[in-house]
């Protein structure tokens, strides 16, 4: 089979790679903004330029106002973002937030997608809770209908880019048990709504997240996305797309870690010659390259199954995330060891890249969780 990019995707990749290369200093500074007084946690100018380049539009279909949206469009973009260590929240604002509005929203709500693609609007999905771990259907936050209002009460945990979001997509249960798929609704909540409080903090791998408290937060009925209690299927589809994007982003980071390690082995001198000439280190480097190629194949396979049946889609994506998690940890650890002490310094790019590789495994489901999902889908 031919896995070469189409002309359009190749052009997108070349343009994005050139832009990220030309803005390396600004991108590196952006990774530290989450620890500063900048509540965005990223560079607003970089975000605007990405939108102007059409990068956000590549994540949406033509029907939704973009020009891409397929699995390989996602992997083309996110592999380059991972390669450069970009912390700008395209996954949260576009894939999750924008994708859910595009699927569930009415005509008025869908007008927000145009602003997302243009870079003028930020979104964040507030779905995870303190007790939910990686269970997508575990929702304890409640939504009660009172006359023409909806009252939300509960807590949300690790809401990425919540402080930067103009709107939060908050999931809440209107009916059913706390772990039932039926009964979950999504609501479009302006960030400054009364009854909503945020406690923000920096993330280890860059960017920011927040804990949310919903204290009798009142919304008009028009804030609901889609039908009452029927949001789970759309949530699952958006999460599958996000998992593929995250796998591609991790692959890009693994490529950078491997390239930096190869360059270091060919540059660092010991006993009058490059340490890369020592056979023991050559074997370890060969192992990294093999793992990298396996990871690339897994990402390609996952992207190709985004339009498959729900069972086959979930099976292949769980397999890819499990492999990426295991291979990514090996690449991060081996890259650090082959570099020695320099790899632990904040000034060196590998320190940031290695953090992103390791922490990516803890989002949406770690290697053990992905293995459990794979087994469940195999026996189902």
- Condensed to tens digits (0 to 9), the pLDDT of residues 315-369 reads 999 999 999 999 999 999 999 999 987 877 877 888 899 999 999 999 999 999 9
Higher pLDDT, 75 or 34: 75
Instruction: Give the CA radius of gyration of the chain.
Output: 21
**Yes or no: domain 233-379 corresponds to CATH 1.20.140.10:** yes
Domain residue limits, the chain: 7-121, 124-229, 233-379
Residue 380 has pLDDT above 70, yes or no: no
The architecture CATH gives domain 124-229: Beta Barrel (2.40)
Residue 204 has pLDDT above 90, yes or no: no
Residue 306 has pLDDT above 80, yes or no: yes
State the distance between the two ends of the chain, measured CA to CA, in whole angstroms.
30
The total of other beta-carbon atoms located within 10 Å of residue 180's CB is 15
| Phi-psi region at 49: left, alpha or beta (left = phi > 0; alpha = psi -120 to 50) | alpha
Beta strands of 140-182 (E only): which ranges?
Answer: 142-146, 149-160, 167-173
Percent with pLDDT over 90 in the chain: 80
Mean pLDDT of the 217-234 span: 95
Helix (H) or strand (E) holding 215: strand 208-220
**pLDDT confidence bin for 35, thresholds 50/70/90:** low
pLDDT at residue 59, as a whole number:
96
The total of other beta-carbon atoms located within 10 Å of residue 147's CB is 6
CATH (one of 3.40.50.920, 1.10.132.20, 1.10.540.10, 3.40.228.10) for 7-121: 1.10.540.10
> Using CA atoms, how far apart are residues 71 and 11, in angstroms rounded to an integer?
17
């Amino acid at each position: 089979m031919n896995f070469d990019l189409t002309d359009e995707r190749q052009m997108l990749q070349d343009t994005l790679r050139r832009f990220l290369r030309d803005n390396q200093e600004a991108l590196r500074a952006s990774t530290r903004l989450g620890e500063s007084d900048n509540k965005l946690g990223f560079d607003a100018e970089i975000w605007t330029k990405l939108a102007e380049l059409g990068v956000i539009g590549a994540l949406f279909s033509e029907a939704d106002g973009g020009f891409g949206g397929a699995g390989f469009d996602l992997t083309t973009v996110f592999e380059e973002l991972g390669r450069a260590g970009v912390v700008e929240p395209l996954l949260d604002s576009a894939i999750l937030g924008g994708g859910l509005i595009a699927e569930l929203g009415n005509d008025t709500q869908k007008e927000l997608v145009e602003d997302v693609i243009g870079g003028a609007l930020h979104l964040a999905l507030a779905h995870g809770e303190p007790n939910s771990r990686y269970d997508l259907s575990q929702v304890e936050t409640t939504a009660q209908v009172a006359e023409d209002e909806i009252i939300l009460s509960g807590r949300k945990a690790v809401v990425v880019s919540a402080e930067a979001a103009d709107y939060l997509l908050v999931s809440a249960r209107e009916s059913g048990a706390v772990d039932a798929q039926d009964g979950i609704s999504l609501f479009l909540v302006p960030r400054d709504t009364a009854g909503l409080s945020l406690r923000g903090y920096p993330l280890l791998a860059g960017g920011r997240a927040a804990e949310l408290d919903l204290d009798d937060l009142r919304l008009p009925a028009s804030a609901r996305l889609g039908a009452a209690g029927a949001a789970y299927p759309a949530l699952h589809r958006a999460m599958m797309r996000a998992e593929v994007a995250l796998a591609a982003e991790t692959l890009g980071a693994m490529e950078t870690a491997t390239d930096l390690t190869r360059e270091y082995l060919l540059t660092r001198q010991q006993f009058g010659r490059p340490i890369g000439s020592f056979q023991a280190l050559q074997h370890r480097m060969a192992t990294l390259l093999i793992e990298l190629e396996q990871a690339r194949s897994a990402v390609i396979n996952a992207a190709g199954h985004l339009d498959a049946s729900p069972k086959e889609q979930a099976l292949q994506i769980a397999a890819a995330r499990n492999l990426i998690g295991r291979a990514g940890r090996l690449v991060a650890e081996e890259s650090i060891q082959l570099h020695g002490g320099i790899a632990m310094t904040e000034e060196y790019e590998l320190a940031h890249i290695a953090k992103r590789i390791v922490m990516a495994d803890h989002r949406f489901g770690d290697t053990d969780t992905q293995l459990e999902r794979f087994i469940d889908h195999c026996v189902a």
